């Protein structure tokens, strides 16, 4: 319904263009006039090879980041600069509808939910954006991005009948996105329609007509099935793309890779399905999500590690990929209940940038090498086409290896990997490839090359290094740049490997630094052959070309420590990547993120965690000195012109609170289980009808969403009058559904009846609990507290799984008909008319302390008792603790902090069944389940924490066992101490507690 007739006409015209192209006898990879919505805009265009922006081909090399998983707009720039420093040109982001229209008809995107700060930071860092507003996003979010009220609709999700519910969101968010399109000076260049919509139900929708979206539409097919390719069906997109998660999601054992999982026929499918659009992988694996009870993100990062990047990303390049998006590049946090039940609070994803924003993982550095190679290869790569699929043993001396060739004009790219991509063998080989000087057998000056284990290499032939033809290289290219009077080429290899490169030049070469390089002039070329060792080798060829031969690893002088930093371009490109503009090449550790030229000084901004030498190996001749983070290291120039200086690290004094030393206040957060508790203000659970397709079997619906309670804990009060028929061994049985790892506890008046303490693999459970002695005529209150873990997602198309209810599903009471019990229900105060507009519709649940806002800063805890969560063992129940402390982290340092629970040895057997929710300035930043795990560390970003002032934290402690529980240990630790050029981080809004009228 969202597509205009114009679009259908255009789709038809592409079909005819294809017919014309075929009639003219063109080969599939010859330029076919692309389908363009030329009437709408001409800044972002594309053909079958790649996109172009402002008329220049660009690899949309993107990292996925979700603004809603980092509620600190002041940190977006930091994330973006770390992505830009990888050599990426873009970022893709989802928008979570559930957070922006928590109440049907009321769209709000303010404060931490505002999108404009994300757009501004992208422009400042210079990253183009792919907007993915859904309305359905999946994304391991509660409901896959569907708001809870959508549970009450009858229409089947993601079909035409449901689309009307998305109108308000789509028009509002569409207007925000439209303003930030590149055509209006913003960073957004692409818009994805829906998400993984791989079906013909025609629900794929995003209203463009009214919203004024003029940039290209693309989709992400869940697999290369060919849905919505140009011309496929009405509503087709401009650029077709799909997902690729070759490794799957089982990261239990880091060394175990799934067999035969590397895609081999994607290019053939693309040429059949969408030959007029660039090869686009809209989600390419960057790690894995992890579930309750899972191995933890450290393990997932070790599993989808730098080796996986090398093998999988290079396999992507050989397909001719020109649009790629690494999911995730920064995962962030499922704060405030925004996740679905299949994940816990952390959404680290084992991504290249960890949840605490550090880049210590080797996979960050490897991702930088991979991206820089294709960026340096520019149009040569972007117009290259695969000439055949990887064939075992072709062009290579052993069947254990597969080589896939890609050709662009005279340049060849040969991707070598093990035929069995999981192989850990060390395999020797020789490569025989065609060049402008005939077929060459590589290496010439030594016997073999080696592929060590899970690795893949891109060997090149006839590769143009700024006018010098590199005839071949077995070493990989990190980058090359041509400056006014010289050129720099950086090659690297793995430790212990021998490599060879040859240049079609009559010039000779000399060693400027290092040793162990054989330099041999032959007729028509100059050959270099060397063993890769730590410590660089620098060769000068002729007067102009400086070749750096590096090892891959992280030691000083190694490839991982080199950075290619774009210098700003003239408007309108500014900080965005301009393939024809100059960049500098700098060696430094641990991060460089921007370079500008100020007068004759190259001003570098970056982060260090130790004193580090900085060397500028490639720069324009106007530069004579270097500064780092506004202060100038004294700069020296070496014999061949490299500028060097020292960036000095000064360790700061960081003092962090010791939680056991602080004064904590406590309040009982389950007054419902006290005899005097008054629930008269609660909502009556009296609906006798529900539109939910899962029919309720109780006398009235007890589904949370039927009463507008869609998040966190639900609390039920069941009232009945004892009739004397309950018996001695009478029972109350109750079954609840809350999603994986959920739990519930039941009280009869103030008597604890029992709990379901949860299981990582169980989403519904029934408990049959023994009643205490009751007297006929006695008025009895049941209290059932249910932890809900978010809504299920709504995939595949047409699935109503997201409507799976939350709360009490059924119950039975000895001696009673079910109609004898009348129920009341609560979740968060106000339900969908939620109170805390700052922290959004999902952040607070139905605990008494949450309903009263005691998780917010400065709660009225004066009269509360003093008690620490560590030193008391209460019985089953819920206690709510608050404390405050000052932080005074010195300016100029980035010190990520993390709240660390400790699981003691005694607890490994999970004898203590308890759940905690951690609040920092009211933002719920941790849901900790002691008896399930695996998350014990909860990073909380600066901006939620106040680094120079008072911090209010709160902790709910729900003990599910009559034995009670205590938190063994909770510490605030720093996970890095980085001396940073990053500017001061603005605090996210932190409105304090005020009395809530009508709170109960
Ligand atoms: C559209 O693509 C799908 C998936 O490849 C295919 O099943 C369907 O037949 C196509 N429809 C048309 C009209 O081409």
pLDDT on residue 878: 97
Q: How far is the CA of 235 from the centre of ligand 1 (A)?
A: 12
**Whole-angstrom Cα distance, residue 17 to residue 509?**
52
Q: Residue 947 gets which letter from DSSP?
A: T
**Whole-angstrom Cα distance, residue 460 to residue 442?**
11
**Whole-angstrom Cα distance, residue 317 to residue 477?**
14
Same domain, yes or no, for 392 and 371? no
Contact assessment for residue 436 and residue 462, using Cβ atoms and an 8 Å cutoff: yes
Identify the CATH number of the domain in which residue 24 sits.
3.20.20.80
Instruction: Determine the average pLDDT of the residues in 668-673.
Output: 96
**Whole-angstrom Cα distance, residue 385 to residue 177?**
34
Half-sphere exposure of 737 (CA within 13 A, CB side): 16
- Mean pLDDT over each residue of the chain, to the nearest integer: 92
**Residue where one domain finishes, among candidates 593, 611, 630:** 593
Residue range 241-277, pLDDT digits in tens: 999 999 999 999 999 999 999 988 999 999 999 999 9
Lowest mean pLDDT among 2-16, 48-62, 461-475, 866-880: 2-16
Same domain, yes or no, for 404 and 372? no
Contact assessment for residue 671 and residue 657, using Cβ atoms and an 8 Å cutoff: no
Residue range 269-301, pLDDT digits in tens: 999 999 999 999 999 999 999 999 999 999 999
Long-range CB contacts for residues 379-383, cutoff 8 Å, separation at least 24: 379/57, 379/579, 380/408, 380/409, 380/411, 380/463, 380/464, 381/59, 381/317, 381/406, 381/408, 381/413, 382/49, 382/50, 382/57, 382/58, 382/59, 382/322, 383/49, 383/50, 383/57, 383/408, 383/409
Q: Of 226, 185, 227, give the one whose Cα is nearest residue 204.
A: 227
Secondary structure (3-state) at 579: coil
- Total domains in the chain come to 4
Same domain, yes or no, for 117 and 227? yes
* Residue 864: Cβ within 10 Å count: 17
pLDDT on residue 10: 31
Which H or E run includes 979? strand 978-980
Please state the atom number of ligand 1 nearest to the C-alpha of residue 198.
4
Question: Is 599 part of any domain?
Answer: no
Binned at pLDDT 50, 70 and 90, residue 204 comes out as low
Binned at pLDDT 50, 70 and 90, residue 631 comes out as confident
Binned at pLDDT 50, 70 and 90, residue 506 comes out as very high
Binned at pLDDT 50, 70 and 90, residue 5 comes out as very low
**Whole-angstrom Cα distance, residue 227 to residue 365?**
35
pLDDT on residue 904: 58
Binned at pLDDT 50, 70 and 90, residue 151 comes out as very high
pLDDT tops 80 at residue 627: yes
Question: Is 697 part of any domain?
Answer: yes
pLDDT tops 70 at residue 216: yes
Contact assessment for residue 73 and residue 120, using Cβ atoms and an 8 Å cutoff: no
Q: Percent of the chain at pLDDT above 70?
A: 94
The sign of the torsion formed by the CA atoms of 782, 703, 684, 726 equals: negative
Contact assessment for residue 833 and residue 745, using Cβ atoms and an 8 Å cutoff: no
Does ligand 1 come within 6 angstroms of the Cβ of 202?
Answer: no
Active site (catalytic) residues: 196, 283
Q: Of 172, 213, 171, give the one whose Cα is nearest residue 192.
A: 213
Chain centre distance of CA 182 = 24
Question: Is 989 part of any domain?
Answer: no
**Whole-angstrom Cα distance, residue 518 to residue 585?**
26
**Whole-angstrom Cα distance, residue 401 to residue 393?**
6
Contact assessment for residue 305 and residue 407, using Cβ atoms and an 8 Å cutoff: no
Secondary structure (3-state) at 384: coil
Does ligand 1 come within 6 angstroms of the Cβ of 773?
Answer: no
Instruction: Determine the average pLDDT of the residues in 210-218.
Output: 86
Domain that residue 298 falls in: 3-381
Please state the atom number of ligand 1 nearest to the C-alpha of residue 225.
5
Q: Which of 8, 227, 270 to mutate to test the pocket of ligand 1 (most atoms within 8 A of CB)?
A: 227
pLDDT tops 60 at residue 534: yes
Does ligand 1 come within 6 angstroms of the Cβ of 761?
Answer: no
Question: Is 834 part of any domain?
Answer: no
Same domain, yes or no, for 336 and 433? no
Binned at pLDDT 50, 70 and 90, residue 203 comes out as low
**Whole-angstrom Cα distance, residue 617 to residue 554?**
18
Please state the atom number of ligand 1 nearest to the C-alpha of residue 273.
5
Question: Is 653 part of any domain?
Answer: no
**Residue where one domain finishes, among candidates 544, 571, 593:** 593
Closest Cα to atom 9 of ligand 1: 232
Instruction: Determine the average pLDDT of the residues in 853-867.
Output: 97
**Residue where one domain finishes, among candidates 381, 414, 448:** 381
pLDDT tops 80 at residue 554: no
Q: How far is the CA of 41 from the centre of ligand 1 (A)?
A: 28
**Whole-angstrom Cα distance, residue 557 to residue 574?**
31
pLDDT tops 70 at residue 29: no
Lowest mean pLDDT among 12-26, 203-217, 284-298, 748-762: 12-26
pLDDT tops 50 at residue 313: yes
Binned at pLDDT 50, 70 and 90, residue 13 comes out as very low
Instruction: Name every residue whose Cβ is closer than 8 Å to that of residue 457 and which is 6 or more positions away in sequence.
Output: 314, 415, 416, 417, 451, 474, 476
Paired residues of 765 in beta bridges:
736
Q: How far is the CA of 571 from the centre of ligand 1 (A)?
A: 43
**Whole-angstrom Cα distance, residue 102 to residue 116?**
20
Same domain, yes or no, for 42 and 160? yes
Q: Of 447, 401, 445, 405, give the one whose Cα is nearest residue 427.
A: 401
pLDDT on residue 391: 75
* Whole-prediction pTM: 0.95
pLDDT on residue 982: 86
Which H or E run includes 517? strand 517-522
For the ranges 3-17, 20-34, 77-91, the one whose mean pLDDT is highest: 77-91
Same domain, yes or no, for 342 and 358? yes
Does ligand 1 come within 6 angstroms of the Cβ of 227?
Answer: yes
Q: How far is the CA of 901 from the centre of ligand 1 (A)?
A: 52
pLDDT tops 50 at residue 38: no
pLDDT on residue 200: 81
Contact assessment for residue 579 and residue 378, using Cβ atoms and an 8 Å cutoff: yes
Secondary structure (3-state) at 6: helix
pLDDT tops 60 at residue 16: no
Closest Cα to atom 10 of ligand 1: 232
Q: Percent of the chain at pLDDT above 90?
A: 87
Same domain, yes or no, for 481 and 584? yes
pLDDT on residue 27: 33
Identify the CATH number of the domain in which residue 567 sits.
2.102.20.10
Does ligand 1 come within 6 angstroms of the Cβ of 686?
Answer: no
Question: Is 608 part of any domain?
Answer: no
**Whole-angstrom Cα distance, residue 631 to residue 212?**
46
Q: Which of 18, 232, 271, 272 to mutate to test the pocket of ligand 1 (most atoms within 8 A of CB)?
A: 232
Binned at pLDDT 50, 70 and 90, residue 34 comes out as very low
Residue range 85-122, pLDDT digits in tens: 999 999 999 999 999 999 999 999 999 999 999 999 99
Same domain, yes or no, for 871 and 968? yes
Same domain, yes or no, for 408 and 369? no
Q: How far is the CA of 273 from the centre of ligand 1 (A)?
A: 9
Does ligand 1 come within 6 angstroms of the Cβ of 15?
Answer: no
Instruction: Determine the average pLDDT of the residues in 682-703.
Output: 96
Identify the CATH number of the domain in which residue 941 sits.
2.60.120.260
**Whole-angstrom Cα distance, residue 618 to residue 582?**
10
Same domain, yes or no, for 415 and 301? no
pLDDT tops 70 at residue 20: no
Q: Residue 514 gets which letter from DSSP?
A: -
**Whole-angstrom Cα distance, residue 253 to residue 302?**
9
Rounded alpha-carbon distances, angstroms, from residue 813 to 664, 702, 825: 40, 16, 18
Q: How far is the CA of 204 from the centre of ligand 1 (A)?
A: 14
Per DSSP, the chain holds a count of helices (H) and strands (E) of 10, 57
pLDDT tops 50 at residue 30: no
Number of residues written out for the chain: 1000
pLDDT on residue 202: 65
Buried b (16+ CB within 10 A) or exposed e, 709-720: bbbbbbbbbbeb
**Whole-angstrom Cα distance, residue 794 to residue 798?**
8
Binned at pLDDT 50, 70 and 90, residue 667 comes out as very high
pLDDT tops 90 at residue 728: no
Q: Of 959, 864, 862, 966, give the one whose Cα is nearest residue 906.
A: 966
Contact assessment for residue 461 and residue 412, using Cβ atoms and an 8 Å cutoff: yes
β-pairing verdict for 807-813 and 779-787: unpaired
Instruction: Determine the average pLDDT of the residues in 918-940.
Output: 96
Same domain, yes or no, for 154 and 93? yes
Binned at pLDDT 50, 70 and 90, residue 840 comes out as very high
Does ligand 1 come within 6 angstroms of the Cβ of 233?
Answer: yes
Instruction: Name every residue whose Cβ is closer than 8 Å to that of residue 933 and which is 6 or more positions away in sequence.
Output: 292, 293, 296, 903
Helix axes 76-84, 116-125, angle to 10 degrees: 30
Secondary structure (3-state) at 85: coil
Same domain, yes or no, for 270 and 404? no
Question: Is 38 part of any domain?
Answer: yes
Half-sphere exposure of 144 (CA within 13 A, CB side): 24
Chain centre distance of CA 778 = 55
* Residue 115: Cβ within 10 Å count: 23
End-to-end CA distance of the chain: 45
Question: Is 609 part of any domain?
Answer: no
Binned at pLDDT 50, 70 and 90, residue 903 comes out as low
């Amino acid at each position: 319904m969202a597509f205009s007739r114009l679009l259908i006409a255009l789709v038809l015209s592409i079909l005819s263009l294809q017919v014309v192209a075929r009639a003219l006898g063109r080969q599939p990879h010859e330029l076919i006039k692309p389908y363009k919505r030329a009437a709408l805009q001409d800044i972002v265009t594309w053909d079958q090879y790649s996109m172009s922006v402002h008329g220049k081909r660009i690899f949309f090399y993107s990292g996925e980041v979700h603004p809603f998983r980092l509620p600190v707009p002041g940190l977006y720039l930091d994330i973006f600069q770390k992505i830009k420093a990888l050599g990426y040109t873009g970022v893709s982001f989802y928008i979570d509808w559930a957070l922006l229209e928590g109440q049907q008809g009321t769209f709000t995107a303010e404060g931490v939910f505002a999108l404009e700060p994300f757009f501004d930071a992208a422009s400042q860092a210079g990253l183009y954006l792919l907007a993915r507003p859904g309305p359905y996003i999946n994304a391991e979010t509660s409901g896959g991005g569907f708001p809870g009220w959508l549970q009450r609709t009858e229409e089947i999700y993601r079909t035409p009948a449901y689309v009307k519910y998305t109108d308000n969101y789509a028009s509002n968010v569409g207007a925000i996105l439209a303003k930030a399109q590149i055509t209006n000076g913003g960073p957004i260049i692409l818009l994805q329609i829906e998400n993984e919509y791989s079906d013909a139900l025609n629900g794929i929708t995003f209203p463009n007509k009214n919203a004024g979206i003029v940039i290209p539409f693309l989709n992400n097919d869940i697999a290369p099935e060919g849905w919505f390719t140009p011309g496929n069906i009405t509503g087709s997109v401009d650029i077709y793309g799909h997902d690729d998660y070759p490794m799957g999601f089982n990261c239990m054992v880091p060394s175990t890779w799934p067999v035969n999982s590397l895609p081999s026929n994607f290019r053939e499918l693309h040429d059949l399905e969408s030959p007029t659009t660039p090869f686009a992988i809209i989600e390419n694996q960057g790690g894995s999500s992890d579930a309750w009870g899972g191995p933890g993100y450290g393990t997932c990062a070790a599993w989808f590690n730098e080796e996986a990047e090398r093998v999988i990303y290079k396999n992507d390049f050989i397909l001719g990929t020109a649009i790629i998006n690494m999911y995730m590049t920064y995962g962030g946090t499922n704060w405030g209940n925004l996740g679905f039940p299949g994940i816990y609070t952390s959404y680290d994803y084992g991504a290249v940038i960890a949840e605490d924003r550090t880049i210590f993982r080797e996979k960050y550095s490897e991702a930088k090498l991979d991206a820089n190679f294709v960026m340096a290869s520019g149009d040569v790569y972007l117009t290259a086409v695969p000439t055949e699929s990887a064939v075992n043993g072709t062009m290579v001396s052993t069947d254990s290896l597969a080589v896939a060739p890609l050709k662009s004009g005279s340049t060849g790219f040969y991707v070598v990997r093990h035929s069995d991509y999981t192989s850990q063998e060390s395999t020797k080989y020789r490569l025989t490839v065609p060049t402008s000087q005939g077929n060459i057998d590589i290496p010439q000056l030594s016997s073999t090359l080696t592929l060590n284990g899970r690795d893949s290499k891109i060997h090149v032939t006839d590769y143009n290094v700024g006018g010098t033809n590199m005839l071949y290289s077995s070493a990989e290219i990190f980058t090359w740049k041509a400056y006014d009077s010289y050129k720099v080429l950086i090659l690297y290899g793995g430790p212990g490997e021998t490599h060879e490169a040859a240049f079609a030049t009559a010039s000779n070469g000399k060693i400027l630094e290092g040793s162990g390089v054989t330099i041999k002039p032959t007729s028509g070329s100059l050959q270099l052959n060397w063993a890769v060792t730590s410590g660089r080798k620098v060769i000068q060829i002729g007067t102009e070309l400086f070749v750096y031969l590096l090892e891959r690893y992280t030691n000083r002088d190694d490839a991982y420590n080199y950075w290619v930093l774009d210098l700003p371009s003239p408007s309108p490109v500014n900080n965005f990547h301009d393939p024809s503009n100059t960049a500098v090449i700098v060696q430094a550790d641990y991060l460089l993120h921007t370079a500008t030229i100020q007068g004759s000084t190259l001003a570098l901004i970056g982060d260090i965690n130790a004193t580090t030498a900085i060397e500028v190996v490639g720069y324009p001749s106007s530069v004579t000195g270097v500064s780092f983070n506004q202060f100038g290291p004294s700069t020296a120039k070496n014999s061949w012109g490299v500028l060097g200086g020292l960036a000095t690290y000064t360790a700061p004094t960081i003092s962090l609170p010791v939680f056991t030393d602080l004064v904590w206040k406590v309040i009982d957060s389950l007054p419902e289980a006290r005899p005097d508790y008054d629930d008269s203000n609660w909502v009556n659970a009296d609906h006798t009808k529900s539109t939910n397709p899962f029919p309720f079997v109780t006398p009235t619906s007890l589904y949370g969403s039927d009463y507008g309670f869609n998040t966190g804990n639900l609390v039920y009060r069941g009232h009945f009058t004892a009739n004397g028929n309950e018996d001695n061994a009478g029972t109350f049985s109750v079954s609840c559904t809350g999603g994986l790892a959920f739990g519930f506890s039941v009280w009869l008046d103030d008597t604890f009846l029992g709990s379901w303490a949860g299981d990582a693999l169980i989403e519904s459970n029934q408990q049959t609990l023994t009643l205490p002695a009751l007297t006929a005529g006695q008025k009895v209150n049941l209290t059932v507290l249910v932890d809900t873990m978010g809504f299920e997602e709504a995939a595949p198309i047409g699935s109503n799984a997201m409507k799976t209810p939350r709360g009490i599903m059924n119950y039975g009471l000895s001696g009673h008909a079910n109609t004898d019990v009348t129920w009341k229900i609560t979740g968060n105060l106000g339900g969908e008319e939620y109170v805390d507009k700052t922290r959004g519709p999902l952040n607070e649940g139905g605990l008494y302390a949450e309903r009263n806002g005691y998780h917010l800063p400065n709660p009225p805890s004066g009269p509360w008792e003093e008690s620490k969560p560590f030193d008391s063992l209460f019985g089953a129940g819920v206690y709510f603790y608050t404390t405050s402390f000052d932080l005074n982290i010195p300016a100029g340092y980035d010190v990520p902090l993390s709240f660390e629970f400790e699981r003691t040895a005694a607890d490994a057997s999970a004898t203590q069944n308890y759940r905690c929710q951690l609040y920092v300035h009211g933002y719920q930043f941790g849901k900790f389940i002691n008896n399930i795990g695996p998350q014990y560390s909860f990073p909380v970003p600066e901006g939620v924490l106040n680094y120079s002032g008072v911090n209010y934290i709160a902790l709910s402690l729900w003990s599910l066992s009559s034995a009670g529980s205590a938190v063994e240990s909770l510490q605030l630790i720093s996970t890095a101490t980085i001396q940073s050029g990053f500017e001061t981080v603005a605090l996210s809004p932190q409105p304090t507690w005020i009395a809530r009228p009508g709170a109960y």
